[in-house]
Amino acid sequence: MQTKNEAPQEEREASSPKNIHLLVACEFETANLTEQDRDLLELMGITLIMTGVGTLNACMAAMKSIAAGADYIINIGTAGSHTFPVGTVIQGNGYIKRDVDATLIMRSITDEEGKLISPNFPKFRMPYENDIVLKPERLLNNTGLDQGLVFTGDNTHGHTEVNEDYPAFACVEMEAYAIAKVCIDAGIPFDSFKFISDGAGESVGEEWNQNADSIPWSHLLIEIAHNWLLFV
């Protein structure tokens, strides 16, 4: 029976993803992935792909996924956080490139009459781009998980990159922004889930090594499966 807010079956089928890729940075983050979890991935038709660590590797992997026909990408991995405790799972609701800082060259420029030609570019904003925060289309909107901005950069020094506009980072990691940007460009939806493994501070290395293999895969895949049933 069709509910009041439910789209007709033919509309859901037309818009449902048929080729879902799940991108993970490294094997260590899949240590808690059981055979039952892998069976569930196979049942849902989700392809698991290791990207390698960092934005360049993540970007290349996302581009390869799309070239292979992926019409929806999910990213699961670890992250540090200044606001959520270790063990929390955060669903990304926006993505910022935290190691972009062109403020020394992208300063305000005026003409001889004092008319503004070029404004100051704030930290985290890519020169000549309009937005600091990327907002790709999401498909998993009813997970009940905590939501947060994901701050991506090619280092683990999130505690040194906060500023007045963003005094604390919800998620500090190294891949999601790049994947989100590729997905936006390709016009496909993207969701990410980040397991908080550390406090994104000076002891990040020790904390990550203690906790990075503890991603609650079974719980996450059940959440995805619940939403996946709405796709089919």
Q: Which CATH number do you get for residue 175?
A: 3.40.50.1580
The structural domain count of the chain equals 1
Q: Which domain holds residue 39?
A: 18-231
Residue 11 has pLDDT above 50, yes or no: no
pLDDT of residue 92: 96
Taking the CA of residue 178 as centre, how many other CA atoms within 13 Å lie in the half-sphere pointing to its CB?
A: 24
Tens digits of residue pLDDT in 46-68:
999 999 999 999 999 999 999 99
Instruction: Write the CA distances from 22 to 9, 73, 74, 192, 212, integer angstroms.
Output: 25, 6, 5, 9, 18
Confidence grade of residue 4 (pLDDT, cut at 50, 70, 90): very low
- 214 by Cβ neighbours in 10 Å (0-12 / 13-18 / 19+) ranks as middle
Residue 138 lies in a domain: yes
pLDDT digits (tens, 9 = 90+) for 142-183: 788 999 999 998 888 777 777 777 778 899 999 999 999 999
Q: Is residue 177 part of a domain?
A: yes
In this structure, are residues 89 and 220 in contact, taking their beta carbons and an 8 Å threshold? yes
Structural domain includes residue 11? no
